[in-house]
Structure 1
């Protein structure tokens, strides 16, 4: 009997993935049953039965207690942590105030961002203010990954815009890890506003896959000898004042040789190895700007709405931008983590559970 079937037979519990200590995700995570009382919605909350939720690189870093995933807050004894900050599902119950507002209804499909986490579970208690209605033409697999990745993409684009000496088009930008979920959105949104992208990936196979799934701008594999010269050829006489980087590490040294003096590396990930040599930054007036998706919360409410609308429109018009690398039931979370952690994947790995039993 599957965990979802067990829940159908025993509505007093739900299934969750949790950890009581930090460490390698495959070792410290456990699949458990928790009482439904833990997710009883308050007056301003909704109870969502979650169908799909993504495994972000930051999720795994946070579980590992790696500083690249943010500050690892102590996990109190007897109060294990359930990972995950976004997902999609169906509203099962509304708190008293939320029900009276009439903005959402039981049975409605929504995507959501949960500031307290706990989306790697079959049920999640979510503030109603965090819910976004999902139109019929957007699949659960796409809706599950829209919010955090789009927020990050918008923060990256804003930081790049602010770093330009003269924010006028045409602008040429270099991207690393261009096949990653965030960078695919950066590419799509950047093309909409007229940016010229030169995309870097690690392998030739990855380059071929990205060119086939998201064509339109050059893709160069950094495993190839002389890849910097290929980038310079693609640049032509155009200066590059901004590089969008999700790799970090020793690759930063190679990237800065491609930047114009006064240029900026906008970084939002550190998946590379080695340490960069930043000694040449000051003499050339270069800058290294780290960004995180939570900076999106500082945008105006009008900008946030515009970004959500833009993301939803992109999901409708070009769902291939939100690529799916694989889907695994919650019980197979170790296989899902192995896939999400491995090289060469194209898109997001999702954890799934049934809705509407």
Structure 2
């Protein structure tokens, strides 16, 4: 075990340009903690956003990154996970994150990996797939089973469309034209090009008399609010980016329900039962990926040393898939 490890450290006020590869002392896990030696790191939009916006708990040298996959290198008191166990995790934004060779994680956050799943595949799962699961869990059954996923070409929307189809819902989606065939092959009824100014009218024509029961928006709170009129009576507006600070429709009109999705909030506000439910769901998602029942977005693999450049590509919308960093075994120092 080395005494130090390499990590990408954050610089206040410098955004992505301030990420620097630094050496940090390797801390040993305390009670209830696990030290994970990272093997793959999944990039998410929240990563570049918080690097640019900052966070109340961050300071010079804080390590960003929420998603990681690796092996258990050391455990603290009260933890009975065997060394060498392959795990995935979704880290709290209030702690040093996954953009590093090692990461200290609370043991209750760890998801054990199926033996047949590759590290880089698993790294594409935690944040987007669990977020999609949470979003879908917000919506109860209704008179109609028609739902709309906005931005199904992105990682969260891609998982959400699949999970909704598997739940037996009639799924409609918006996405760039390059994603249409793949989404339809997964069971999406139809996909609309959001660049087309007539896509909303096309959807309403396709729905006919069937009300839209739920709308999942992955763009912004303002964008979600603009689409609220598409929902039918007692429909559900689910915001995966931002939230609705004010009701988007008049009172006593279509009586829609408003939902906020905030995965990171579970670290501060979740209790034991919340963590148990989330981990059970995450384990099932990983197993479904391993079994081929749930497809991951196309992965774009890169070396750990290129992480800031990949994060910038993600910010600029040049994703074309899910960015995943690969790490070799850290050398002893």
Give the shorter-chain TM-score range: 0.7 to 0.9
The Cα shift of 1:141 comes to 1.6
SS in 2 for 1:316: helix
Q: Distance in 1 between matches of 2:115 and 2:30?
A: 28
* 8 Å Cα contact 1:169-1:194 kept in structure 2: no
CA contact (8 A) 1:206 1:344 kept: no
CA contact (8 A) 1:120 1:351 kept: no
1:114 aligned residue:
91
Q: CA deviation at 1:302?
A: 5.9
- Give the CA deviation at 1:52: 0.9
Q: What SS class does the counterpart of residue 308 from structure 1 fall into?
A: helix
The alpha-carbon distance between structure 1 residues 126 and 302, as it changes in their structure 2 partners (threshold 3 A), is closer
Following TM superposition, by how much is the alpha carbon of 1:211 offset from its aligned partner in structure 2, in angstroms?
4.2
Aligned length: 324
* Structure 2 residue corresponding to 1:88, chosen from 45, 50, 69: 69
Determine if the alignment matches structure 1 residue 126 to structure 2 residue 105.
yes
Partner of 2:135: 156
Which moved further from structure 2: 219-228 or 334-343? 334-343
Corresponding residue for residue 255 of structure 1: 227
The CA distance in 1 between the partners of 2:245 and 2:283, in whole Å, is: 38
Equivalent position of 1:51 in the other structure: 39
Root mean square deviation of aligned Cα = 3.0
Q: Going by fraction, where is helix more abundant, 1 or 2?
A: 1
Please, which of 239, 255, 263 is the counterpart of residue 293 of structure 1? 263
Residues 207-231 of structure 1 deviation map (CA, whole Å, 9 limit, x = unaligned): 345446x454311111124111221
- Within-5 A mapping of 1:6-45: 11-25=2-16, 27-36=17-26, 39-45=27-33
Tell me the TM-score normalised to structure 2 length: 0.85
Change (3 A) 1:19 1:170: same
**Alpha-carbon distance change, 192 to 170 in structure 1, aligned in 2, over 3 angstroms:** farther
SS in 1 for 2:308: helix
Q: In 1, distance between residues paired with 2:82 and 2:159? A: 30
**Which residue does the alignment assign to 1:139?**
118
Structure 1 unmatched runs, 5+: 1-7, 67-71, 162-166
The answer to whether structure 1 residue 73 and structure 2 residue 56 are counterparts is yes
- Provide, for residues 79-136 of structure 1, a one-character-per-residue CA deviation record: whole Å limited to 9, x for no partner: 52101122111122233543xx3xx222221112333242100011222222222122
